[in-house]
Amino acid sequence: MAKITAGIGCSHVPAIGAAFDQGLTQDAYWKPLFDGYEPAREWIKKHKPDVAILVYNDHGSALTLDLIPTLGIGVADEFQPADEGWGPRQVPVVKGHSALAWHITESLITNEFDMCVMNKLDVDHGLTVPLNIMCGKVDDWPFAVIPVPINVVMFPIPTGDRCWRMGEVIRRAVESFPEDLNVVIFGTGGMSHQIHGERSGMINRKFDTAFLDDLSKNPQRLRYIKHEEYTTFAGAEGIEMVMWMVMRAALGDNNVHEVYRHYHVPASNTAAGLIILENDDLKKPQKKSAKKAVKKAAGKKTPAAKKPAGKKAAAKKAAVKKPAGKKAAAKRPAAKKPVKKSPPKAAKKAVKKVAKKVAKKVAKKAVKKPVGKKAAKKK
Amino acid sequence: MDYKEIKALKAKFEEVPGTYLFNADRCRQGYWLNTFCSSMSKDENRKAFLADEAGYLDSRFPKLTKEQRRCVLDRDWLGMIKNGANIYYMSKYGATLGRSFQYMAGEMTGQGQDNYRAMMMDGGRTTKGNLHKKQNGGKVSCISNKSGKDFSKKA
């Protein structure tokens, strides 16, 4: 099965691409920025993704004002570098992953994300600069790329919450794809910057640092940052950071750890940020064995397990068996979850979680002893 | 959102100094201006424009307003923004003239590229006084984050 194993948050400043193309990466101005990319390149070499889903925005390069798709996805086999006024960047052609892209498209649309499907899409610096940042100078990009362009140029643009929910669907879509694929997801753009008007050049390190911190500590805060807040505090073009929400949500709820971070001011007009988050769900082997043990315990000790029913049913039954107080407590996490639009997974997860806890308790204590209300609540 | 709510939200964005959020109104106002800029993403168009700037505009983009046309020909970058240009589209025109985002920012801010660049290397522009038009009489402060130096262009 395919898995989203890591997320990368990454600025896509065009000047970084230009410095790259002109061989200026060791110039005094650029060196501190580019040196900070080295560990990330080492990481991705070891991580060896098969596919990257790359959330970015087109900057009036391939998508003009003639057509303004709010949410797009590139399903082609390859994507050519766009001409942004200087002639196309001399970077490798971007190879797509059509089968997975189409599957994600179907999944998104059936989940009410009405995607603009793109069979032809030239990709601009928004997509190619993050690839250079992570891969350096290469003859071919070392993985396939599924471009996901989001309109963050013409307001109104999608909210952080909308981006988040889209990320959740992408996660489920990838996880249900039958091919074994190591998938990473990029959220690009940002960080604080403004590049138009008299306020150009405003940088807010405090905002950016808190944003990077909360990607692992408190992503739910980021999810609900309003457009006004981004625009006022992170610069008008800092709004691009909503796209990081797709990436963050695609990693799951509260199960990531930060592997690497790099932050530097300036990259031309912009605060450049880079962060790598790994998905702990898949990384920690002891977690898996713990899960197994819990399952085993549940199988032996709960009456529900007599039936060879699925996990979900067992969990449900286990939860139902409890006295009223606990039932309410069991319901609580599900209700609390702000994952409004994805009931199947969220509910499943919540149920699983409760079942796990319950099973653990049951296994620990003598069998039929009901777990105290308080203890259940505490969890 | 209904009409009133959208209007109120747009007004809120207009309270940020030195900022011209590219919303539906500006998109409508600047359609031809931005479409001209988009046309600069093709080499043959760049050549045609550079060979005869006014002719190119008049023959292909007759719907540009007089003021928009002037801004293009005069390289009035802030004027273009005020007349509905979006910076990303404008960058295609900038590139045609060999001008970077940073150059255009230097021009739009009135600081000039060198001064602007120095401010950026000193940590960028501060947020202090730059979050609301009421804070600084609508004027944008050119104080840098790191050393707190004023990078306004001295007359």
Same structural domain for residues A212 and A355? Answer: no
pLDDT of residue B155: 60
Q: Give the Cα separation of A85 and A232 in Å (integer).
A: 30
pLDDT of residue A373: 39
Coil, strand, or helix at residue B20? coil
Residue with tokens 């505490």: A378
Structural contact between residues A187 and A247, judged by C-beta atoms closer than 8 angstroms: yes
Neighbour tally for A87: CB within 10 Å: 12
Same structural domain for residues A147 and A292? Answer: no
Structural contact between residues A61 and A194, judged by C-beta atoms closer than 8 angstroms: no
Domain count, chain A: 2
CB contact under 8 A, B17 and A199: yes
Same structural domain for residues A295 and A278? Answer: no
Coil, strand, or helix at residue A26? coil
| CA end-to-end distance (rounded Å), chain A | 31
- One pLDDT digit (tens) per residue for chain A, 379 residues: 899 999 999 999 999 999 999 999 999 999 999 999 999 999 999 999 999 999 999 999 999 999 999 999 999 999 999 999 999 999 999 999 999 999 999 999 999 999 999 999 999 999 999 999 999 999 999 999 999 999 999 999 999 999 999 999 999 999 999 999 999 999 999 999 999 999 999 999 999 999 999 999 999 999 999 999 999 999 999 999 999 999 999 999 868 999 999 999 999 999 999 999 998 876 554 444 444 444 444 444 443 433 444 444 444 444 444 444 444 444 444 444 444 444 444 444 544 554 455 444 444 443 333 433 344 433 3
Percent of chain B with pLDDT over 90: 96
Q: Which residues contact A63 (CB under 8 A, 6 or more apart)?
A: A69, A72, A149
Same structural domain for residues A268 and A299? Answer: no
Q: Give the Cα separation of A281 and A92 in Å (integer).
A: 33
Task: Tell me the pLDDT tens digit for each residue of A183-209.
Answer: 999 999 999 999 999 999 999 999 999
pLDDT of residue A215: 97
Name the minimum distance, in Å, from the CA of A169 to any CA of chain B.
Answer: 25
pTM of the entire structure? 0.82
Coil, strand, or helix at residue B51? helix
Range of the domain at A262: 3-283
Per CB-CB distance under 8 Å, the chain B contacts of A31 are none
- This model of the complex carries an ipTM of 0.97
Coil, strand, or helix at residue A255? coil
Coil, strand, or helix at residue A291? helix
> Which of A264, A283, A302 is the endpoint of a domain?
A283
Structural contact between residues A233 and A209, judged by C-beta atoms closer than 8 angstroms: no
Per CB-CB distance under 8 Å, the chain B contacts of A202 are 124-127, 130
> Any idea which architecture B13-104 has in CATH?
Orthogonal Bundle (1.10)
Task: Tell me the pLDDT tens digit for each residue of A342-372.
Answer: 444 444 454 455 445 544 444 444 333 343 3
Q: What are the sequence ranges of the domains in chain B?
A: 13-104, 109-155
CB contact under 8 A, B121 and A204: no
B144, β-bridge pairs: B125
Same structural domain for residues A263 and A300? Answer: no
Same structural domain for residues A308 and A251? Answer: no
Break chain A down into helix, strand, coil percent, rounded to 5. 50, 20, 35
Residue A193 among the catalytic residues: yes
